[in-house]
Amino acid sequence: MLFNALLIAIREIRRNLTRSFLTVIGIVIGVAAVVTMVTLGRGATETIKGEISKMGSNLLVLRPGQGWWSRGVDQFSLADLDAIRHQINGVADIAPFVQTSVSAVYQENNKTYDVQGTTPNYFEIANWTLSSGRIFTAEEVEDSVSVCVIGETVRKALFGSVDPVGKRIRLGTTSAEVIGVTAAKGQGGFGDDLDDNIIVPYTSLVRRQTGSQGGRFVSQAMISGEDGFPSAQIVAEITNLLRERRNITGNEQDDFNVFDSQQLADVVTSSTKVMTSLLGAVAGVSLLVGGIGIMNIMLVSVTERTREIGIRLAIGARAREVLLQFLVEAITLSCIGGLAGILLAFGLCHALVKAVGTPFIFDPTINLIAFVFSAAIGILFGYMPARRAAALDPIDALRHE
């Protein structure tokens, strides 16, 4: 019986192709809009998480002052970093970070860059890999050797097509040998160029650029947390330790801050998911509009086929069979619209991800939900016309012209 109803539904749809197409266009647009919005939203979420992860794995950044403003605030000492390394649970590694801007010169090329002084473990903490050469060693840090690792942006600007490894560049009033080039990372989560930097041993930078090698000269510390360890707990313990070491008591405000990249990623991901859900819900309204269109056309169809319904009832068809026939026709229309909407969304996503620069992440769940919802629309809005057809009196239906 169900199979026969499906055959009759397909026959009626083929008999009025133009009207059927106009009927399901709302479903097609609705399904396509929902799937496209959710797919692009997931792609945007993954892009943002990827940009944040470029800064480092389980990364915490310790800075003096509040926010990014540290002028006039005491910096950190190596003893502070040693205390964090040995006294705080969940800290996998920590690297000092000293930064200044200098003019870098190679032959006739000259430009001002950020020079970052640190230790070899910084490269692992911040997820740096090399495209050529090597990183400096702990011995070179201890001996304040004038070596540097440059970013891809610096390599292009200063050296062009020349291999920079082994060449010497002038950094301010000193010179340094280029021993490595970092692999390109591109833009960071805040839109800055991550490849526009020069990395040197911090001892070399402190001694030769700032003229000091003791006291509180660490302007930043890069901290890597252990996998699976709650970053919030690490932040809380670091805060308590540094408040004690910096003699901050009572209700005094911290003169330092700990930036947690994982918390930022969680907040951004949560916000993106909320926006995606909102856009998906707005797009879903068009599915309801499509459902109303199906109900309208099915009511017209019942009116047009009143005599046919009367003949079927007169020769023995039961009311539930007539109801099933029109309900199946409505569901078939909405399912065809759902499938067409998914195919349209697939094409739109492939085109739009290239335009907005996000990855295409196929989500079978949202596609299945959109299809099931389109079928449910057919049941919901097809039931009233189907019930009206089943309730027709056979005698009155046969008299209908």
Tally Cβ neighbours within 10 Å of residue 266.
14
Alpha carbon 306 to its chain centroid, in Å, reads 54
Q: What's the start-to-end Cα distance of the chain, in Å?
A: 28
- In contact, 12 and 333? CB cutoff 8 Å: no
The token pair that represents 81 in the structure block: 């970093």
Q: Buried b vs exposed e over 173-193: b needs ≥16 C-beta within 10 Å?
A: eeebebbbbbeebeeebeeeb
Q: pTM for this structure? A: 0.61
Spell out the per-residue pLDDT of the chain, length 401, in tens.
Answer: 566 666 766 776 777 777 778 778 888 888 888 888 888 877 877 776 666 666 655 788 888 887 655 566 788 889 999 999 999 998 989 999 998 888 999 888 888 888 999 999 999 888 888 999 999 999 999 988 999 999 999 999 999 888 999 999 998 888 899 999 999 887 665 556 788 889 999 998 887 654 444 477 888 898 988 887 888 888 899 999 999 888 888 788 888 888 887 666 666 667 777 777 776 677 667 777 777 777 777 777 776 667 666 776 677 767 777 777 777 878 888 888 889 988 998 888 888 887 777 778 877 888 888 888 788 877 777 777 777 776 766 666 555 55
* String of DSSP letters for 159-171: HTTS--TT-EEEE
CA distance 24 to 131: 54
H or E, element range at 48: helix 17-53
> CA dihedral in degrees (107, 110, 112, 117; nearest 10)?
0
For 49, the 3-state DSSP assignment is helix
Contact (Cβ atoms closer than 8 angstroms) between residue 279 and residue 360: no
Give the tokens for residue 59: 């990364």
The CB density around residue 261, as the number of other CB atoms within 10 Å, is: 20
Crossing angle between the packed helical segments 78-87 and 231-245, to the nearest 10 degrees: 130
Beta carbons within 10 angstroms of residue 254's beta carbon: 14
**Domain ranges, ordered by start, for the chain:** 2-51+266-399, 74-254
